[in-house]
Amino acid sequence: MSSGRSAGALPVVAIVGATGAVGVELIRCLERRNFPLARLRLFASARSAGKTLPFRGEELPVEELREDSFSGVDIALFSAGSGISKRFAPLAAAEGAVVVDNSSAFRRDPAVPLVVPEINPQAVKAHKGIIANPNCSTIIAITPLWALHQRNPIRRMILATYQAASGGGAAAMEELSESTRAYLEGRPYEPQVLPHPYAFNLFSHNSAIDADSGYNEEELKALHETRKIYGDESIRVSATCVRVPVLRAHSIAVNVECERPVTPHEVRELMADAPGVRVVDDRARNYFPMPKDASGTDPILVGRIRADLSDPSGRSIALFVVGDQLLKGAALNAVQIAELL
């Protein structure tokens, strides 16, 4: 399904949730990557209507999102939460737009492609009007691993995530800044956005806990989304997701068990050639991926590549990955999907 625009015509692109942290990054990505478009339209809630945001030297007005907003729109980039997506994405698709949705609303729908362009770009062709953007920590964890999985299939994956405030949106980022300032000044600060004090603290990811398994939603996303994106339901995945006081880059400790023995040298060479990945693995200087180096940059940083000494079979590798949650974890991946379209 696609819009009715003539072949070769530039698309009209819309951003839903334009004033949020990811929405702002979507605008910047479109401009920085010189995305070809005829017009960019910005939508948000009624309270944001009338604001303006910069794009290619102009100030574009933010419009209130309405059910009739999508007439003439060819590509709609959604980043406004699953409730908004469930309500408005089908309306946009019915108007002929292709929706790239950054929420969890459609990720597990078998009829909706879940796409990381470096891994399964061909899945875009199967869309019926909506394409899902995967969860940020899933993207950052599995994009570097794809090169290894193609050469030596991964059978088991254990993840421990250290997730930044940006995953909770602009309000969570502001809460981290304000609570840190209050802590340093000796003032009390009552959390408004997150359930626990954030400054100089970390806590289990604040998504809902599944009562039966004990895993939270973020951890279960890693399992289900990895299987769907890799097209392999046999991969075993266990994740522990933690919120840490970092502004915008997620860090993930990864342990993978492959089908056959594998060496750190092999993994390092595969990662060096993997698209969207940069190896930062300087043992001599003890310099490895850090949020300060990943923040504001496109590549996912990979390092600490080493054999898992607890596996005498030689089939397991440990490594550490860091990626900008707002970019490759969200906005950049969505724009890359739009580029495929």
Measure the CA–CA gap between 178 and 264, rounded to whole angstroms: 42
- The amino acid sitting at 154 is I
Whether residues 175 and 199 share a domain: the answer is yes
> Above 90 in pLDDT, residue 8?
no
Structure-model confidence comparison of residues 4 and 222, the more confident one:
222
Residues 6+ apart with CB under 8 A from 205: 161, 163, 216, 218, 219, 241, 242, 243
pLDDT given at position 2: 46
Q: For residue range 253-291, list pLDDT tens digits in order.
A: 999 999 999 999 999 999 999 999 999 999 999 999 999
Whether residues 173 and 106 share a domain: the answer is no
Whether residues 191 and 213 share a domain: the answer is yes
Q: What is the CATH number of the domain that holds 182?
A: 3.30.360.10
The single residue of 127, 149, 205, 250 carrying the catalytic annotation is: 250
Measure the CA–CA gap between 4 and 196, rounded to whole angstroms: 49
> In 3D, which of 228, 229, 223, 273 has the Cα closest to residue 119?
229
Q: N- to C-terminal Cα distance for the chain?
A: 11
Residue at 22 is within a domain: yes
pLDDT given at position 229: 98
Residue at 292 is within a domain: yes
Q: For residue range 292-302, list pLDDT tens digits in order.
A: 999 999 999 99
Whether residues 118 and 161 share a domain: the answer is no
Range of the domain at 83: 12-134+331-340
> Domain count of the chain?
2
Predicted confidence band of residue 214 (pLDDT cuts 50, 70, 90): very high
> From start to end of 45-82, where are the E strands?
52-55, 58-64, 75-78
Residue at 209 is within a domain: yes
Whether residues 90 and 152 share a domain: the answer is no
> Above 90 in pLDDT, residue 334?
yes
Could you tell me the pTM of the whole model?
0.93
Token couple for 147: 């090169």
Phi, psi of 126 (to 5 degrees): -90, 5
Burial grade of 45 (CB within 10 A; 0-12, 13-18, 19 or more): middle
136 carries an active-site annotation: yes
Predicted confidence band of residue 199 (pLDDT cuts 50, 70, 90): very high
> Above 70 in pLDDT, residue 7?
no
Q: What is the DSSP letter of 209?
A: B
Query: Coil, helix or strand for 227?
Result: helix
Measure the CA–CA gap between 212 and 192, rounded to whole angstroms: 29
Place of tokens 């933010």: 62
Q: For residue range 225-261, list pLDDT tens digits in order.
A: 999 999 999 999 999 999 999 999 999 999 999 999 9
Residue at 17 is within a domain: yes
Residue at 219 is within a domain: yes
pLDDT given at position 92: 97
Whether residues 125 and 201 share a domain: the answer is no
Task: Tell me the β-bridge partners of 203.
Answer: 243
> Above 50 in pLDDT, residue 1?
no
Structural contact between residues 29 and 335, judged by C-beta atoms closer than 8 angstroms: yes
Q: For residue range 41-64, list pLDDT tens digits in order.
A: 999 999 999 999 999 999 999 999
Q: What percent of the chain has pLDDT over 70?
A: 98
**Mean pLDDT rounded to a whole number for the chain:** 96
Predicted confidence band of residue 4 (pLDDT cuts 50, 70, 90): low
Place of tokens 């995305």: 35
Whether residues 229 and 91 share a domain: the answer is no
Token couple for 98: 């292709």
Ordered DSSP codes for 170-211: HHHHHHHHHHHHHHHTT-----SSSSS--TT--EE--SPBPT
241 carries an active-site annotation: no
The single residue of 29, 136, 241, 258 carrying the catalytic annotation is: 136
